[in-house]
Structure 1
Amino acid sequence: MRISVDPEQCYGSGDCVHRAPSVFTKVGGLGAVIPGREHDLDLPRVREAVEGCPAAAITVTRED
């Protein structure tokens, strides 16, 4: 599974950074996943960030 933030959908609330600062950061005012942390979905705070994103910009995709 891989976490990503869609920059077209994100409006920069920073909620993801607040909930899971070890995984998310802001780049150019928008939320982004810190390089190398794209697979840290098992952290409870990451799941909270995914579910609580006000722009629904964070997605979790299956890697086959």
Structure 2
Amino acid sequence: MKVSVDRSACYGSAECAYRVPSVFVFVDGYGEVLPGREDTGDDPEVREAAEKCPSQAVLIGE
């Protein structure tokens, strides 16, 4: 499963980067997925970060 961050929805809480710093970073006020970590959507910590994102900007899909 792929994970991504919808920049248009992200309002910069940095919750994803705080929860899973091995997958997410905080750049220019927005969360981003680290290059090469896009296929981590099956990871339980990544799924929790998506669920806990206050703006629902962390997306998991195929």
TM band (smaller chain): over 0.9
Contact 2:24 2:33 in 1 (8 A): yes
Matches within 5 A, 1:1-64: 1-62=1-62
Q: CA deviation at 1:54?
A: 0.2
TM-score (norm 1): 0.89
State the number of aligned residues: 62
Give the conservation status (yes or no) of the 8 Å contact 2:19–2:49: yes
CA RMSD of aligned residues (A): 0.9
In structure 2, distance between residues paired with 1:12 and 1:21 = 15
5+ residue gaps, structure 2, are none
Q: Identity over aligned residues, as a percent?
A: 52
4+ residue segments displaced more than 4 Å: none
Q: Secondary structure at the match of 2:50?
A: helix
Is the radius of gyration larger for structure 1 or structure 2? 1
